[in-house]
Amino acid sequence: MDDGCDLVSTLHSDRRDLLEPVVGGTEETTTGVIRLRAMTADGSLRYPVIAVNDALTKHLFDNRYGTGQSTIDGVLRATNLLLSGMTVVVAGYGWCGRGIATRAMGMGAQVIVCEIDPVRALEASMDGFRVMPMSRAAREGDLFVTATGNKHVLRREHFEKMKSGAIVANSGHFNVEIDIPALDKLSKSRRRIRDVVDVYTLKNGREISLLAEGRLVNLSAAEGHPASVMDMSFANQALCAEHLVRTKGRLEPGVYTVPEPLDRKVAALKLSSMGIRIDKLTAEQKSYQASWQEGT
């Protein structure tokens, strides 16, 4: 069971002697799934891996609600800021970015979304957010949060445009989303003012605060996701591990989606634990959906 493809990449690079008995694996994160697909594309992956992150009962809840809430929690614990009235720039409008943007807006912030995907950018616009390139947003933001799974999303050209007092944080990947070496080179000094807040004083006198050394702010400055949303992710992990054992020898190395029946089972179990009941199709409705003769 992996998070970010770290275990898989270590096995395939430094501990290949341990690969032989591995039946399969599961991956929890968007970043990890991207890396696994890259390994599959170049023929490096040696066993099947189920992309748990792609399950509806994972990314629609863990990523959106869990990351959204815990990121804001981390920022507030680190800074004690009042988000209301601030301009918050969210880089990336995947499910994590959506959760962060929605919660920031709900706390009264004016939210700008930066995206490279035209469909996601369009969604962000129709969800009520301003959408623009980071080169423009850099001048407007008070707080910047990256959630892209890529590197150097915030870099020198952006730091040079940020207003003095801007705060930058990462909630999407390893500590490469923010180009910290570039920030170091632009600065004449750095001082720690709170447990996870470093203020960089640039050579032109402006100040930029970096939270949690660019590492995941929801984990470094807060407690991560609540158990009541992680339970679905872990249920997917467990059921997929069982599925891999049951299908041992039948799956070629590669990345696989979570079987739909398992995804729906997790949703049903979660509803039951919440005391929520839902409707069922009647025999007549099942027949209608399975036919094409009836209609307008």
- pLDDT per residue as tens digits for the range 144-154: 999 998 999 99
Q: Could you tell me where in the chain the CATH 3.40.50.1480 domains are found? A: 6-54+226-274
Q: Could you tell me where in the chain the CATH 3.40.50.720 domains are found? A: 65-220
Mean pLDDT of 166-192: 96
Mean pLDDT of 37-58: 96
What does the alpha-carbon distance between residue 284 and residue 249 come to, in Å, rounded to a whole number? Answer: 41
CATH number of this structure's domain 65-220, picked from the four choices 3.40.50.970, 3.30.590.20, 3.30.70.360, 3.40.50.720:
3.40.50.720
Percent of the chain with pLDDT over 90: 94
User: Residue 234 carries which side chain, given as an amino acid letter?
Assistant: F
Report if pTM > 0.85.
yes
Per 3-state DSSP, the chain is made up of helix, strand and coil in percentages (nearest 5) of 45, 20, 35
Nearest to 91 by CA among 138, 58, 56: 138
What does the alpha-carbon distance between residue 12 and residue 20 come to, in Å, rounded to a whole number? Answer: 11
Q: What is the pLDDT of residue 292?
A: 87
The CATH code of domain 6-54+226-274 reads 3.40.50.1480
Q: Which residue has the tokens 């959906």?
A: 289
Confidence of residue 129 (pLDDT cuts 50, 70, 90): very high
